[in-house]
Amino acid sequence: MRGLRGKRAIVTGGGSGIGREICKRFGEEGSEVFVFDINAAGAEETARLIRAAGGEAHAHRVDITDRASVDAGVAEVERGGVIDILVNNAGWDEIKLFLDSDVDLWKKVIDINLYGPLHMHHAVLPGMVRNGRGRVINISSDAGRVDSSGEAVYSACKGGLISFTKTMARELARKGVVLNAVAPGPTDTPLFAEVAKGEMGQKIAEGLKRAIPMHRLAQPTDYPGIVCFLASDDAGFITGQVISVSGGLSMHG
C-alpha cells in the first residue's frame, strides 16, 4: 500500500491475536513497528517475528490503563522520531449479564477499553498535530454498533470509542490528522476463548457462529488489510468512518 514504507507505527495490544497480525502486516509493508503490550514476553515475540521476516520492530511493556506508563512508552518512541500511525487495538472483556456483574468488573472493562485509548490519544495526538500529519485507527467492535448480550459495559465502551473517533476526526480534520474505526465481529482469539468460558459464554459463542452469514468466526488475519489501508496514503480522504469486519453479522449503509 502507498505511503507505509518508513512510517513509524504504534500498535497497542500487539503481543497476541489481532494486534500481532496487524503488527506483522505493518512490518511487511515496510513500517517501523512499536509493539505496546502489558505482556512483555508477547510483545517481544511479535517484534521477533517481524524482525525475522526482515522488518523493523521494537517491543515495549506498556499498561494503557496507567497514564504514566503510556507517557513513558510514547516518549521513548518519540525520542527516535515522529509517530505517524497509532492503532488502538488492546481490549478485554468477560461475558456476564449486567445485573450479575459488579463495579470491579465495570472498572476493569472501562479502564482497558475506554480510558486506555483515551490515554493513548492524549499522549500521541499532540505530536501528530505539531507534525501536521497522522493516522489513527481505533479497533472498536460491532458490539458498540448494535449490541451484544452479556457485554453491556464493553459495548458501552466500544460505542463510546466510535463516538470519540468521529469527534476527534472532526476536530483534527484541518490539522492533517485522520481517525477511523474498525469494528470487528466475533473473532477466534485467545481473548474470545477466555470470554466464551462457562455455560453462558459457550451458548453465546455458538449462537454467534450460527448468526454470521459466512458461518465462521473471524480470524486475526482478517483485519490487518483494512487497518493498513486506513493508515496508508490511499485512505487520505477518509476520516470519521466506522468499517465493520464481521462476515456480514452486521450490515450498515
pLDDT for residue 191: 73
Which CATH number is 22's domain given?
Answer: 3.40.50.720
32 in any annotated domain? yes
The pLDDT value given to residue 184 = 92
Instruction: With a cut of 50, list the residues of the chain below it in pLDDT.
Output: none
Q: Domains in the chain: how many in total? A: 1
Is 19 within a domain? yes
DSSP letters along 65-87, please? T-HHHHHHHHHHHHTTS---EEE
Q: Tell me what pLDDT residue 240 has.
A: 98
Contact criterion met (CB below 8 Å) for 64 and 70? yes
Q: For residue 90, is it within any domain? A: yes
Active-site annotation, residues: 154
Q: Is residue 197 part of a domain?
A: no
Lookup: cell for 121 = 490519544
Domain interval for residue 50: 8-187+220-240
Q: What is the pTM of this model?
A: 0.93
Report the alpha-carbon angle 111-249-244, nearest 5. Answer: 55
Q: Does any domain span residue 209? A: no
Q: What pLDDT score was predicted for residue 146?
A: 84
For residue 141, being part of any structural domain is answered with yes
Residue 129 belongs to some domain of the structure: yes
Closest to 138 measured CA to CA, from 153, 152, 124 = 124
Tell me if 23 is assigned to some domain: yes
